[in-house]
Amino acid sequence: MDRGAGGRRGSGDHSGTSRGGDDGHRSGVEALDDALARMLVRFTPTFLIYLAGADPHEGDRLGRLALSFDGLAARDRRVFDWCWQRGLPVAFCMAGGYGRRLEDTVQAQCNTFAVALAYWTRWAGRWA
């Protein structure tokens, strides 16, 4: 469930932005996909370090992407899944997060940890 700033729900598909709607989400996803594709053109990674910033959240004072909580989770899943598909180990660290409400920043970061835990569980099962 999307618990955007002030308890408002995000855009209709709950994976996009609350400002800019589906077009904003698509452009953010396209930018992420483009960055990952450009990386593969430049080199073949053997691992990935993911800086999972909370500043793209809609309640952040400095970020401008205005992603809902579900939008941030979709971003996280996309990165972790990209690594999973290629068998790449991934380390992540939290960054950013200048929310108007501290609770929103903490929630955004806890959500990223939940996505990471789900993928870690998948990785652990891969070799079981």
Flag whether 35 is in a domain.
yes
Task: For residue 98, give every residue at least 6 positions away whose Cβ sits within 8 Å of its Cβ, in sequence order, or none.
Answer: 55, 60, 61, 62, 63, 105
What is the average per-residue pLDDT within 98-107?
Answer: 93
Flag whether 3 is in a domain.
no
Q: Which domain holds residue 81?
A: 13-123
Reported as a single tens digit per residue, the pLDDT across 19-66 is 444 445 556 778 889 999 999 999 999 999 999 999 999 989 988 888
Domain count, the chain: 1
Flag whether 103 is in a domain.
yes
Flag whether 53 is in a domain.
yes
Flag whether 72 is in a domain.
yes
Flag whether 1 is in a domain.
no
96, 62 contact by CB (below 8 A): yes
pLDDT (0 to 100) of residue 16: 37
What is the average per-residue pLDDT within 65-79?
Answer: 93
CA Rg, the chain, in Å? 15
